[in-house]
Amino acid sequence: MPEFRSATMIVNAHSRRGRELFEKACKRLADLPFPVDAHAVEDPDQLEPTLKRALAGKPDLVILGGGDGTVSGLVDFVKGTGAALAVLPLGTANSFARSLGIPLDIAGAIDVIAKGELRRIDLGMIDGDYFANCAAIGLSPQIAENVPAGLKRWFGRAGYLTWAAFEFTRFHPFTLIVGEGAEAKRLRVVEVRIANGRFHGGTELIDEASVDSGEIVVQVVRGHARRRLLRNWVNGVLRREARHEDTLNFTGKSLRIATEPPLPVSIDGEVLAHTPVTARIAAGVIDVMVPRP
C-alpha cells in the first residue's frame, strides 16, 4: 500500500457529472487516513491555475475528477512533480479510467484510492503535448469542433451520439501518410486512433495498446467509404472478431503522421493540434492508482 501524507483533488465541476458528484466524493474522501484539499472548479479556464496553486503545497497524491479531456489537459503539470495520480471518472466516455480498470462510480473509484496500488504508466504525446489515453483524426475531431456547447453536459452520451450521427453524414474519407521519405506509407482511411490505451470513445477498440507497453499505437480504419467506419464501430461495440478486418496498426516510439488534406487532431476529446504531427510515447513517466489484481 502506498503511504500518502496529503492529497489534493481538482474536480471539473463544469463537466456533466462534476457538480453533482463533488460533494459526494468529498464525504467519502473524509474517511481516508490523510487530508485531501478539494477544489470544485466551475470555470474550465481555471483548472490549470487551480492545479498549479495546489501543487505548490507538494501533495503526495493528485486526484483529478472529470472526463478524459480534463485528465489529459492537466496531466502535463502532474508529471515530473513526484506526486502520484488518481482518477475520478466523471465524464461521458471515461476511456482512460476504463483502460486502467478503475470503476466508473464514485464509491468504486475512491475505493481504488484507499486500497489500490501504484502502477507506473506511459503517456502519449502529440508533438510536445502529453495525453493520457487516445488522440484521433477523422470523425471524432470533426464532432468535437462542431458540437454545440453544453450538449454533453446536459444530454450525456445519448446527446453526443445523436450529434455524432449528424456529423457522420457530412464526413469524408481522407489520405493518411505515416512516416517520411521513401519509407512513408500512404493509404486511404476513415479514421486514425493514436492510442496509449485500449479504449476510444468509451469502447474497447485498440486491443494492442496498453498504458505501460512503451510504444504508441497508431490504428487506422482503412476504406474509401464512410460506411467502413460505421461497420468497424459496430463490430467493436459488439466485440466481434470482424472489427480487425478493417484496421491496420503501426507501432513505435515515434511516428510522423500527415494527412491530405490537413486535418484537426482531437486529444482525448479536445481539438488541440492539426496535421502534420509527431506521435510519441513517454514511457514510464507517472505513477497512477489502480485496482489491485
Q: In this predicted structure, what is the pLDDT of residue 16?
A: 58
Q: In this predicted structure, what is the pLDDT of residue 172?
A: 93
Domain covering 7-121, topology = Rossmann fold (3.40.50)
Pairing type for strands 7-12 and 61-66 reads parallel
Q: In this predicted structure, what is the pLDDT of residue 153?
A: 61
- The CATH classification of domain 131-284, taken from the options 3.40.50.150, 1.10.150.110, 2.60.200.40, 2.60.120.1310: 2.60.200.40
Calculate ∠ Cα 7-11-15, nearest 5°.
165
CA distance 97 to 88: 8
pLDDT in tens, the chain (293 residues): 678 999 999 999 886 566 678 888 999 999 899 999 999 999 989 999 999 999 999 999 999 999 899 999 999 999 999 999 999 998 888 999 999 999 999 999 999 999 999 999 999 999 999 999 999 999 889 887 877 766 666 666 666 677 778 888 889 999 999 999 889 999 999 999 999 999 998 999 999 999 999 999 999 999 999 899 989 999 999 999 999 999 999 999 999 999 999 999 999 988 999 999 999 999 999 999 999 98
Look-up: residue for cell 461521458?
Answer: 92
CA distance 140 to 269: 7
AA letter at 292: R
Q: In this predicted structure, what is the pLDDT of residue 96?
A: 96
Q: In this predicted structure, what is the pLDDT of residue 159?
A: 66
Q: In this predicted structure, what is the pLDDT of residue 118?
A: 97
Q: In this predicted structure, what is the pLDDT of residue 1?
A: 63
Check if 7-121 and 131-284 are the same fold. Answer: no
Q: In this predicted structure, what is the pLDDT of residue 201?
A: 87
Q: In this predicted structure, what is the pLDDT of residue 236?
A: 92
Residue extents of the structural domains in the chain:
7-121, 131-284
Q: In this predicted structure, what is the pLDDT of residue 154?
A: 64
Look-up: residue for cell 461495440?
Answer: 237
User: Quick one: 41 exposed, middle or buried, by C-beta within 10 A (0-12, 13-18, 19+)?
Assistant: buried
Q: What is the pTM of this model?
A: 0.90
Q: In this predicted structure, what is the pLDDT of residue 170?
A: 86
